[in-house]
Amino acid sequence: MEATDSAGHGGQDTTEATRTATDGAASGAGAGDQFDFMVVSNRLPVDRCSADEAGCEDGWRRSPGGLVTALAPMMTKTDGAWVGWHGAPDETVKPFSHGGIDLIPVQLSTDDIELFYEGFSNATLWPLYHDVIAPPEFHRTWWDSYRKVNRRFADAVIRHAAEGATVWVQDYQLQLVPKLLREARPDLKIGFFNHIPFPPPEIFAQLPWRRAIIDGLLGADLVGFQRSSDAGNFMRSARRFLGASVKQQQVHVRGADGETTHIARAQAFPISIDVKQISELAQSPEVIERAQQIRRDLGNPKTILLGVDRLDYTKGIRHRLKAYEELLQDGKVTVEDATLIQVASPSRERVEQYRLLREEVEGTVGHINGTFDTMQNTAVRYLHHSYPIEEMVSLYLAADVMLVTALRDGMNLVAKEYVTARTKNDGALVLSEFAGAADQLKQALLMNPHDIDGLKDTIMRAVNMQPAEASRRMRAMRKQILDHDVDLWSSDFLNALAEKVVRDES
Ligand code: F6P
């Protein structure tokens, strides 16, 4: 699984891989196996692959992202297992293990993918939780599917969790799971982490099933969010829509008889990245050479600007292109001196809003390049691909200016990866104040992407930044991230969960 929106997500479905995976099931968890620590997420942390691909073992390869790196040691130390969808519609895959982690696949049918994943998760909740940048759609059939699939995930945990086990549920696709677990297994310690923003009650109010969602989340002992404003929004919604009593970070949850059943705590735990992996790659001779090659391939421009995003309307790619086009029109940047590389990795391509966005972005890039390109130089180098992490770090090293212009983003790990890769303390980060990362990266050039003139000015400040200022800012940001990597995030969350349950019981 890709932890909270870094851009690369691969995965290849082949008949051969499918066969191997199903056959390989014999080595994994059996139907009766019980685990002390369970992680539950929509996707399992593995992708299908074919035998000739690097890192491919028995038809599977670990997916990129910090979450699995952070949790893998915990999984192997504590007899853990991961529950999630294996990525192939309509296919039953038996439990198996990969890279020392026991994996318990949950099956999704073609209908589940359309109604639960593309529908309720990504065309209702995703836009609703991201400031209604696109209009959310409300369909009762989607909601029914969301309930049914959440029940299926919860059942897999209920079957495999040992007495008193710790269960950590991840993200907005599974918000009903905590309550389903508590009802069936009050012995469990239940944590939930929301990787995306939680909207203010004024927006959340639109959701016809708002009470059921809050109730579902309140089944957890600890509900984690990226920013304290998200935790605040959640607590205000609990008060407003369920009449819950909320004191400081604690929500008193009442049963049908009006008695308090337990206290759920809501708190911010800003997620981070695998700092060691990115730092090591940034110092590897192959990656450094590849970065130089990228610069040479682009004709050694004075400035390379870089955007790296999933092709998602929350990322502000249109705003970024608009600002860049105007800078070219104004003559503030020229194609001889500067190139913008935009990596837009394919995402949720069957959802209407994503299809429209792709058309618009690709039309705009074509228009900009048609207007400003010369035989030698290209204004925007647009790449609609996912890349392995080695190539991403080469791009980070090649780029003088990183543009993160999200209109709303839970965290934005690309910003943290860029900063970590700049081991020489150079380069400039332009960062939207609407990304969670802005809470930690205060020395970035923070801006409001809706303000196109402000965005243009900020891009020019980054392009023209003096080395001493760049170094001062980058040094401070790197210190923040080096001190707060993803291991610390997961251990902070799990320690808070353990402490909370012990305190409640004593
Ligand atoms: O940020 C939320 C998230 O679900 C991430 O966990 C994931 O990497 C990204 O969005 C894309 O998710 P998917 O391809 O599963 O819809």
pLDDT in tens, 316-362: 999 999 999 999 999 999 999 999 999 999 999 999 999 999 999 99
Asked whether the beta carbons of 153 and 116 are under 8 A apart, the reply is: no
485 lines ligand 1 (CB under 6 A): no
423-436 pLDDT tens trace? 999 999 999 999 99
pLDDT, the chain, mean? 92
Minimum-distance ligand 1 atom for the alpha carbon of 410: 1
pTM higher than 0.85 for the full model?
yes
The strand ranges marked E within 123-244 are 161-170, 189-193, 222-225
The span from the CA of 54 to the CA of 113, in Å, is 29
Sign of CA dihedral 189, 42, 129, 313: positive
Residue 25: predicted pLDDT: 37
Closest C-alpha residue for ligand 1 atom 15:
43
Report the residue among 39, 41, 43 best suited for mutation to probe ligand 1: largest number of ligand atoms under 8 A from its CB.
Answer: 43
Closest C-alpha residue for ligand 1 atom 2:
4
Mean pLDDT of 261-272: 95
Residue 136: predicted pLDDT: 98
Does residue 16 surpass a pLDDT of 50?
Answer: no
195 is catalytic: yes
Q: How confident is the model at residue 69 (pLDDT cuts 50, 70, 90)?
A: confident
Mean pLDDT of 174-198: 98
Minimum-distance ligand 1 atom for the alpha carbon of 122: 16
43 lines ligand 1 (CB under 6 A): yes
* Cα separations in angstroms, 439 against 214, 306, 398, 472: 25, 22, 26, 18
Which amino acid belongs to residue 90? Answer: D
Closest C-alpha residue for ligand 1 atom 10:
5
Residue with tokens 């995003």: 309
Residue 501: predicted pLDDT: 76
Closest C-alpha residue for ligand 1 atom 5:
4
Instruction: Please tell me the least confidently modeled range out of 41-55, 69-83, 326-340, 472-486.
Output: 69-83
Asked whether the beta carbons of 222 and 264 are under 8 A apart, the reply is: yes
314 lines ligand 1 (CB under 6 A): no
> How far, in Å, is the centroid of ligand 1 from the Cα of 136?
17
Minimum-distance ligand 1 atom for the alpha carbon of 170: 6
4 lines ligand 1 (CB under 6 A): yes
Pull the structure tokens for residue 205: 């109010």
Residue 32: predicted pLDDT: 73
Residue 163's φ and ψ, nearest 5 degrees, are -55, 130
User: For the chain, what's the residue count?
Assistant: 506
From the list 98, 130, 160, 195, the catalytic residue is: 195
- Using DSSP bridges, classify how beta strands 445-447 and 101-106 pair: parallel, antiparallel or unpaired: unpaired
Four-CA torsion 195, 198, 40, 352, nearest 10 degrees? -80
348 lines ligand 1 (CB under 6 A): yes
The span from the CA of 311 to the CA of 308, in Å, is 9
From the list 5, 230, 409, 485, the catalytic residue is: 409
The span from the CA of 492 to the CA of 486, in Å, is 10
102 lines ligand 1 (CB under 6 A): no
Residue 148: predicted pLDDT: 98
278-296 pLDDT tens trace? 999 999 999 999 999 999 9
The span from the CA of 326 to the CA of 345, in Å, is 25
Instruction: Please tell me the least confidently modeled range out of 6-20, 234-248, 371-385, 464-478.
Output: 6-20
Residue 351: predicted pLDDT: 96
Residue 73: predicted pLDDT: 75
Residue 66: predicted pLDDT: 64
Domains of the chain, earliest start first: 34-268 (3.40.50.2000), 275-484 (3.40.50.2000)
Minimum-distance ligand 1 atom for the alpha carbon of 173: 4
Minimum-distance ligand 1 atom for the alpha carbon of 6: 8
Mean pLDDT of 260-267: 93
Report the residue among 67, 168, 173, 195 best suited for mutation to probe ligand 1: largest number of ligand atoms under 8 A from its CB.
Answer: 195
DSSP assignment, residue 119?
Answer: I
23 is catalytic: no
Pull the structure tokens for residue 385: 């691909």
The span from the CA of 195 to the CA of 199, in Å, is 13
Does residue 444 surpass a pLDDT of 60?
Answer: yes
7 lines ligand 1 (CB under 6 A): no
Closest C-alpha residue for ligand 1 atom 9:
5
DSSP assignment, residue 65?
Answer: S
